[in-house]
């Protein structure tokens, strides 16, 4: 009867966006009378931060403070079509649509400011703090608010933009499977440290060390939320979750949270994360979506660590204590594979 330590590794990549394309996203951006900007979408925030990241993308592209931008979603009467929040497509598709709409609105804003300042729009820049100024001469400036008012009440100019982002739909070949799945991929690698109790079969994950490559962390805290929450879900998936514990037999399926097991706050695993950023060319500011790939490497890394700990190959998920014990029994006991 012993606790055996084990360590396992896994690495993956993840396709960003709906496979084979054909999933458009649209955005509408317009200025209020005094130069605040509203972004109208029909994209869905599931908690991953859709409203927040698109707000930052609009703010950066427009060149105005984020406090002056608000994202409204989702109302089918006012928000233009978006395919939906799935397939890690939100940041990539909706983000790009927001950039396009914001760019168009910015162009008009700069032209309006140029008319007020009597310069060429190409000579102007935004400072991100609510001002538009001549490049190299920050004192020659006008506020975004004044620009918006002049545009709308004096010049007769809109400050609004529309954007659509689409990877056109393609097909997979029937004979070879040739296809363009997506245009960019995120990456991850991680190491799981865990312990296996060879008397109860219980597995306790003790530490995770990981590296995730996400293109660009558009908001580092939002990325962190996904990576921590996703790794938790990966542990849960590997060791606990199932709707059919004896699949393909349907009996004993859980019906509530008492019987559908997930780790709780008493089982928090310290997770040491490194974030890498290799911007994807066609992604908004290079950012790929970390929302789905964050759980995937955890599952095999846990299985590999259990093998390292006690020599049992767990090829069927979830890896319950019963499966570990049956494996130990079949092997005639724990067979640790050596420290790493």
Q: Cβ 1 to another protein, closest distance in Å?
A: 26
Q: Cβ 127 to another protein, closest distance in Å?
A: 8
Q: Could you count the other beta carbons within 10 Å of the beta carbon of residue 35?
A: 22
Q: Are 145 and 35 in contact (CB under 8 A)?
A: yes
- Largest Cα separation within the chain, whole Å, is 87
Counting contacts by CB under 8 A, is residue 91 touching another protein? no
By DSSP bridging, strand 160-165 and strand 137-143 are unpaired
- What distance in Å separates the CA atoms of residue 89 and residue 165, rounded to the nearest whole number? 11
In this complex, which beta carbon is closest to another protein, that of residue 119 or of residue 233? 233
Q: Cα 182 to the chain's mean position, in Å? A: 15
User: DSSP characters for 207-230?
Assistant: EEEEEEE-S--SSHHHHHHHHHHH
* Interface pick for another protein out of 140, 157, 245, 325 (rule CB under 8 A): 245
Q: Cβ 80 to another protein, closest distance in Å?
A: 9
The contact mask relative to another protein for 114-133 (x = CB under 8 A, - = no) is: --------------x-----
Q: Which of 216, 167, 165, 226 is nearest to 43 (CA)?
A: 165
Counting contacts by CB under 8 A, is residue 22 touching another protein? yes
Counting contacts by CB under 8 A, is residue 276 touching another protein? yes
Q: Cβ 26 to another protein, closest distance in Å?
A: 10
* Interface pick for another protein out of 228, 325, 326, 336 (rule CB under 8 A): 228
* Interface pick for another protein out of 2, 120, 200, 278 (rule CB under 8 A): 278
Q: Which residues contact 64 (CB under 8 A, 6 or more apart)?
A: 35, 37, 126, 128, 130, 144
Size of the site for another protein (CB under 8 A): 167
In this complex, which beta carbon is closest to another protein, that of residue 129 or of residue 154? 129
* Interface pick for another protein out of 271, 290, 312, 327 (rule CB under 8 A): 271
* Interface pick for another protein out of 42, 91, 131, 147 (rule CB under 8 A): 42
Q: Cβ 155 to another protein, closest distance in Å?
A: 17
- What distance in Å separates the CA atoms of residue 243 and residue 70, rounded to the nearest whole number? 40
* Interface pick for another protein out of 34, 120, 138, 313 (rule CB under 8 A): 313
Place of tokens 């006012």: 78
* Interface pick for another protein out of 5, 30, 36, 51 (rule CB under 8 A): 51
Length of the chain: 340
The contact mask relative to another protein for 67-86 (x = CB under 8 A, - = no) is: ---xx-xxxxx-x-xxxxxx
**Burial class of 240 by CB neighbour count within 10 A (0 to 12, 13 to 18, 19+):** middle
* Interface pick for another protein out of 274, 329, 331, 333 (rule CB under 8 A): 274
**Tokens of residue 83, six digits:** 């395919």
Q: Which of 112, 84, 101, 289 is nearest to 183 (CA)?
A: 289
Sheet holding 25-31, edge to edge: 69-72, 37-40, 25-31, 160-165
- What distance in Å separates the CA atoms of residue 79 and residue 25, rounded to the nearest whole number? 11
In this complex, which beta carbon is closest to another protein, that of residue 56 or of residue 147? 56
Q: Which of 335, 333, 307 is nearest to 319 (CA)?
A: 307
Counting contacts by CB under 8 A, is residue 225 touching another protein? yes
The contact mask relative to another protein for 183-222 (x = CB under 8 A, - = no) is: xxx-xxxxx-x---------------xxxxx-xxxxxxxx
Q: Cβ 210 to another protein, closest distance in Å?
A: 6
The contact mask relative to another protein for 131-160 (x = CB under 8 A, - = no) is: ------------------------------
Q: Cβ 74 to another protein, closest distance in Å?
A: 3
């Amino acid at each position: 009867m012993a606790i055996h330590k084990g360590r396992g590794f896994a690495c993956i990549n993840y396709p960003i966006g709906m496979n084979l394309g054909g999933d458009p996203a649209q955005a509408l951006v317009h200025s209020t009378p005094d130069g605040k900007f509203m972004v109208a979408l029909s994209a869905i925030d599931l908690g991953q931060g859709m409203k927040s990241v698109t707000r930052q993308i609009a703010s950066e592209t427009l060149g105005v403070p984020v406090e002056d931008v608000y994202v409204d979603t989702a109302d089918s009467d006012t928000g233009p079509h978006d395919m939906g929040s799935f397939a890690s497509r939100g940041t990539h598709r909706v983000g790009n649509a927001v950039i396009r709409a914001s760019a168009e609105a910015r162009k008009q804003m700069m032209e309006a400011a140029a008319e007020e300042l009597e310069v060429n729009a190409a000579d102007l820049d935004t400072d991100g703090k609510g001002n538009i100024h001549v490049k190299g001469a920050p004192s020659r400036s006008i506020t975004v608010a004044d620009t918006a008012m002049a545009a709308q009440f004096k010049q007769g100019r809109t400050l609004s933009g529309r954007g659509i982002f689409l990877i056109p739909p393609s097909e997979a070949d029937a004979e070879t499977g040739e296809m363009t799945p997506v245009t960019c991929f995120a990456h991850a690698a991680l190491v799981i440290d865990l312990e296996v109790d060879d008397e109860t079969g219980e597995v306790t994950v003790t530490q995770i060390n990981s590296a995730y490559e996400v293109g660009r962390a558009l908001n580092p805290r939002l990325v962190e939320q996904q990576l921590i929450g996703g790794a938790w879900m990966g542990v849960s998936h590997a060791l606990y979750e199932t709707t059919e514990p004896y699949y393909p037999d349907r009996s004993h399926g859980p019906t509530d949270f008492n019987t559908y097991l997930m780790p709780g706050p008493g089982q928090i695993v310290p997770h040491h994360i490194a974030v890498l950023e290799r911007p994807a060319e066609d992604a908004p500011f290079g950012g790929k979506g970390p929302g789905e790939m964050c759980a995937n490497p955890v599952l095999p890394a846990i299985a590999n660590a259990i093998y390292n700990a006690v020599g049992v190959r767990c090829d069927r998920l979830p890896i319950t204590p019963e499966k570990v014990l049956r494996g130990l029994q079949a092997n005639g006991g724990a067979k640790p594979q050596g420290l790493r």
